[in-house]
Amino acid sequence: MKKILILTCTIIICHSVFSQAILEGYYLNPLGDDGIPFKWIRFGNPDNYWAGFMWNNTSNSYGNGNDFTIFSYENRDIVLAPFDGNVILNPRNNNGKIGVGISDPGYKLDVNGTVHAKEVKVDMDGWPDFVFEENHQLPSLKEVQKYIKEHGHLENIPPESDVNENGILLGQMNAKLLQKIEELTLYIIQENQSRKEQQKLIQKQAELIEKLQERVELLEN
């Protein structure tokens, strides 16, 4: 009885699967009309396929050729949704890269488009607090003005032509900008100190002038 039950269930499942045509597999021979050797499995039915996966070794319609590709039809999303685990994209050697919107990535993660995030963390090796060290030589404003006049940009900041060609490294650029902010802070402190000294000098001169005026008035009387 048990064997009959198992056989009956198997027949029902097989009939349900194949009658609904929810799974379709193809192997296109390289000698066929398409001339493109690839294998695929598509999910759905002949009137409305949903998604599938494919191996191909020459066509760039679904990758660079010689790729394993997961694809979907129309506007269907491809979702990786582990319950408690992680989604890990892990190239198995140092040459492997991940591309988004680009077929030939040049970096570990290469995105051809805008990246939207609530926060980005960049690992750094060093930070420009050396600006506040006593032995740091802060360039004079005259030197800064001369450099800008000769080069058209701040020292240690890449020019527009380099940025347009090569982009910027966020961590490195933030460090350079912070250095300029710290230097600017020191210039402001120096200027504030200079103004305080000037105010003291002006106050002394005002007191001296007042005393001289008093003496002049005494002499005139």
Q: Which two tokens stand for residue 91?
A: 């190239």
**CA dihedral defined by 142, 143, 145, 150, rounded to 10 degrees?**
140
What is this structure's pTM?
A: 0.63
Binned at pLDDT 50, 70 and 90, residue 74 comes out as: confident
- The pLDDT value given to residue 181: 96
Among 8-17, 95-104, 125-134, whose mean pLDDT is lowest? 8-17
- The pLDDT value given to residue 173: 95
Q: Which amino acid is at 23?
A: L
Q: Which two tokens stand for residue 75?
A: 């506007």
Q: Classify the C-alpha dihedral 158-163-169-174 as positive or negative.
A: positive
Which residues make Cβ contacts (< 8 Å) with residue 147, sequence separation at least 6? 139, 154, 155
- The pLDDT value given to residue 3: 41
Residue 21: pLDDT over 90: no
- The pLDDT value given to residue 78: 85
Higher pLDDT, 29 or 50: 50
The rounded percent of the chain whose pLDDT value lies above 90 is: 40
Alpha-carbon distance 143 to 126, whole Å? 26
- The pLDDT value given to residue 13: 38
Higher pLDDT, 193 or 89: 193
| DSSP conformational letter for 221 | -
Task: Give the number of C-alpha atoms closer than 13 A to the C-alpha of residue 137, restricted to the C-beta side.
Answer: 3
| CA–CA distances in Å: residue 73 to residues 34, 46, 48, 55 | 21, 12, 9, 17
Residue 1: pLDDT over 50: no
Q: What is the pLDDT of residues 109-146, one digit of tens each?
A: 899 999 999 999 999 999 999 999 999 999 999 999 99
Mean pLDDT over the full length of the chain: 79
Which residues make Cβ contacts (< 8 Å) with residue 107, sequence separation at least 6? 97
- The pLDDT value given to residue 145: 95
| DSSP conformational letter for 138 | P
Q: What is the pLDDT of residues 158-199, one digit of tens each?
A: 999 999 999 999 999 999 999 999 999 999 999 999 999 999
Give yes or no for a contact between 88 and 113, defined as CB atoms under 8 angstroms apart.
Answer: no
Residue 6: pLDDT over 60: no
Q: Which string of DSSP letters, residue by residue, matches 58-83?
A: S-STTSSSSEEEEEE-TT-------S
> Residue 24 forms beta bridges with which residues?
42
Phi, psi at 214, each rounded to 5°:
-65, -40
Alpha-carbon distance 217 to 221, whole Å? 6
